[in-house]
Structure formats: C-alpha cells, structure tokens
Amino acid sequence: MRVRWYGQSAYLLTVGDRSVLIDPLQPNLPFPLPVMRDIRCDLLLVTHEHGDHNGVEAAAGAPFTVRSAAGTYDTPLGKVVAVSSEHDDVAGTRRGPNAIMVFELGGVKVCHLGDLGQRALRPEQAAAIGKVDLLLAPVGGGPTIDGAQAKRLGEDLGARWVVPCHYDTGGLSFLQPVDGFLALYPAAQVRRLEGSEFETDGLPSPLVVVPAAPRS
C-alpha cells in the first residue's frame, strides 16, 4: 500500500488502481496547508464536518462517499465500519461527533481516528474497531487526543504501524508538535521520512512512520 499524507488528517491510500481518500482539506483554510485538487479516488471518507477534514470538492469525479455518519457500509472497495465517537472529552457537547473509519485495502486493515477527542476508547468502540495494521492517529492535543493517549491507543489496537497526524507542522499554534509523541518510543522504533509518501510493503513492525510535512 502507498500512503500519501497531505497535512492535518488528509491521506490518499493506494493499492494498484484502487484508492481511498480520507479527510481532504478545504481550499482557502486559514492555515499553511496544501491545496488539494482533482484527486482521483474510488472511495472518499470524511470523519467529521470541519473544514480541515471535509473538503470533498478535492476529489475528482464522483467517488463512493461515506460522510461523517456511523454505520457499516458496503462500498466498491469492500466494507467500511464507521465507529461513532466524539471530538472532545465531554461527550461531544463542545466539538460534536467524529466517525472513526475502519476498512481493509490490499490486505492491510486501516483505522483512521479522525479528530478523536475522547481520553480513551469505550469497550464497545474498541471491539468494533478490532486489531488493526495501520493506525492514522492525531497526536497534537488541543481539540484531539495527545501523544500519550495516541500511543496507548496504538498499543491497545495492536497496530503494526502508527502514523501520527494533526499536529503542528508550522503555523498551527493550536496543536503541539510531533516531538513529544515520538519521544515516547525507542529511537529504533521511529522512522522519519524525507518525503510525504511511503509504502507499507517491507516495513518492519511495530514502527512509527513519520512522513515529512507536505509543502503548502
């Protein structure tokens, strides 16, 4: 699987000619983030309705879309389980709902946490997610979980690879940088990349993979 990070929580996952776009960025955001346009995908997933996650116009054509609602969906790429969760630690009363997206692509089970703000998963949420291979997790604190909480979630879900996102890459002062999260792991378990893309094939595990921040 090829994983491309666009900044914040936006990813394009590709296996062969099949691709999944998750949480694309709206244009003209008040943050130094890339502009996303005309991205071909078969499946578009939106975890919640905030502008740095629901830029659906970035997708080319008319992909099958699962948009910010919990449930189990049959899609052209297989089953997607959207797990109900909250964007804050006060039962969603401050920042609203968040749908954790779980699916398989190319034999890799993926979990994208969106802007999870709960201190921990409830047992029924963890059961609905199950064990995962690739965990895409916010680590910047503020409106989401922080690095320590993300690390614990990765361990609880048995993730082979954890990819941090939604942290301060420059000009995002409401989020913490990634360094505190990475300091929780042995150096040998962290791989910083020079580019914003990587392949899961051949990666050792467990491993924290840190793509370079895309240029705005």
Residue 180, pLDDT score = 97
**CATH number of the domain enclosing 154:** 3.60.15.10
Domain count, the chain: 1
Residue 174 covered by a domain: yes
Residues contacting residue 91 through CB under 8 Å, at least 6 positions apart: none
Distance CA 178, CA 28 (A): 24
Confidence of residue 28 (pLDDT cuts 50, 70, 90): confident
For the cut 80, the answer to whether the pLDDT of residue 9 exceeds it is yes
DSSP letter string, 146-204: BHHHHHHHHHHTT-SEEEEESS-SSS-TTS--SHHHHTTS-GGGEEE-SSSEEE-TT--
- Structural domain harbouring 76: 2-210
Confidence of residue 30 (pLDDT cuts 50, 70, 90): confident
Residue 216 covered by a domain: no
Residue 97 covered by a domain: yes
Integer-rounded Cα radius of gyration of the chain: 16
For all residues of the chain together, what is the average pLDDT? Answer: 96
Q: Across residues 139-146, what is the average pLDDT? A: 97
With CA atoms as reference, report the closest residue to 110 among 126, 132, 131. 132
For the cut 80, the answer to whether the pLDDT of residue 216 exceeds it is no
Residue 29 covered by a domain: yes
Q: Are 134 and 160 in contact (CB under 8 A)?
A: yes
Distance CA 78, CA 201 (A): 21
Token pair recorded at residue 52: 């740095």
Residue 88, pLDDT score = 96
What pTM value is reported for the model? Answer: 0.97
With tokens 């291979």, the residue in question is 133
Confidence of residue 32 (pLDDT cuts 50, 70, 90): confident
Question: Is the previous residue joined to 123 through a cis bond, with omega within 30 degrees of 0?
Answer: no
Residue 65, pLDDT score = 98
Neighbours of 46 (CB within 10 A): 23
Convert 93-129 into a string of H (helix), E (strand) and C (coil). CCCCEEEEEEEEECCEEEEECCCCCCCCCCHHHHHHH
Residue 33, pLDDT score = 87
Q: Across residues 51-71, what is the average pLDDT? A: 96
Q: pLDDT tens-digit profile of 68-120?
A: 999 999 999 999 999 999 999 999 999 999 999 999 999 999 999 999 999 99
